[in-house]
């Protein structure tokens, strides 16, 4: 069993334990704030940052305790992040839907629910807890699931970040006509990182789509490399949560590329 398979197995078990009726979740959606379209945020500058609230990871273990996820998200927003990514998977990443709720209550910019979305209930759940954007990992889904979940996300007023790791996955992603495509340099089956995937895959993403470079970004040089290969946005977690000054870390990564909103 690969790391990805093991994570998904745990996600399904945890989902089964918290699943409620669709009527319950629909009531929660009706009470939630209207979704914020992340596209304007991603298109507002030459390079946008998706800053992540992330306590731990399968590859590195504990990263940061993050007792106040909303406070951290506010710092990201103040420093110029365009979107906040909130890990909600609990077993390997130490996240929760409570983190999503807390962040939603304190920031004004769009929020990505970062999880392993393998069941349609999770999409209703994401919207009920205030997510504006969800993650679709091509490696974790069949083509029919990828297409159906992409449509479901849009039907609920959210956008989807469609994540790929290989050329085959990119071809599958492009079949569903995505607007945002992420290239993750970390192989979710082995956890190895190879940022050369940015050079191999991002140039193959059509220019009209928003290409996001994910994982393996911790310095301004890493950002430059991703941007030279066509990235319009970067998603960064570990480097920010481990930084003593998250605001300074955000500004350093964005450098001179972040224009005034």
Q: Which residues are catalytic?
A: 52, 54, 114, 163, 184, 214-215
Alpha helix (H) residue ranges in the chain: 3-18, 22-31, 39-43, 69-79, 97-104, 120-128, 143-155, 167-174, 196-201, 220-228, 238-241, 246-254
Nearest of 36, 42, 50, 40 to residue 232 by alpha carbon: 42
Are the beta carbons of 242 and 253 closer than 8 angstroms?
no
- Tally the C-alpha atoms within 13 A of residue 71's C-alpha that lie toward its C-beta: 5
Are the beta carbons of 35 and 109 closer than 8 angstroms?
no
Integer Cα distance of 165 and 187 in angstroms? 7
Tell me the Ramachandran region of residue 124: left when phi exceeds 0, alpha when psi lies from -120 to 50, beta otherwise: alpha
Give 71-93 as a 3 state SS string. HHHHHHHHHCCCEEEEECCCCCC
Strands 83-87 and 111-114: parallel
Q: What is Dmax (Cα atoms) for the chain?
A: 49
Are the beta carbons of 25 and 124 closer than 8 angstroms?
yes
| Cβ within 8 Å of residue 89, ≥6 positions away | 7, 10, 11, 95, 114, 115, 116
């Amino acid at each position: 069993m690969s790391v990805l398979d093991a994570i998904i197995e745990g996600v399904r078990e945890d989902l089964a334990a918290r699943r409620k009726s669709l009527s319950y979740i629909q009531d929660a959606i009706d009470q939630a704030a209207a979704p914020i379209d992340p596209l304007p945020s991603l298109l507002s500058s030459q390079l946008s940052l998706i800053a992540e609230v992330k306590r731990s990871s399968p590859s590195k273990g504990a990263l940061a305790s993050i007792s106040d996820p909303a406070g951290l998200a506010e710092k990201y927003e103040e420093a110029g992040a365009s979107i906040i990514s909130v890990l909600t998977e609990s077993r390997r990443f130490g996240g929760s839907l409570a983190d999503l709720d807390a962040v939603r209550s304190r920031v004004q910019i769009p929020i990505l629910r970062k999880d392993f979305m393998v069941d349609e209930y999770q999409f209703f759940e994401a919207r009920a807890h205030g997510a504006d954007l969800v993650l679709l990992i091509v490696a974790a889904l069949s083509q029919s699931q990828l297409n159906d979940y992409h449509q479901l996300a849009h039907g609920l007023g959210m956008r989807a970040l469609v994540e790929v790791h290989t050329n085959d996955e990119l071809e599958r992603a492009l079949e569903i006509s995505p607007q945002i495509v992420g290239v993750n340099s970390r192989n979710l089956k082995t956890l190895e990182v190879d940022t050369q995937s940015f050079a191999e895959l991002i140039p193959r993403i059509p220019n009209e789509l928003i290409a996001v470079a994910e994982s393996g970004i911790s310095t301004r040089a890493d950002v430059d490399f991703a941007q030279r290969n066509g990235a319009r946005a970067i998603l960064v977690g570990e480097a920010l949560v481990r930084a003593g000054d998250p605001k300074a870390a955000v500004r350093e990564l964005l450098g001179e590329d972040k224009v005034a909103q």
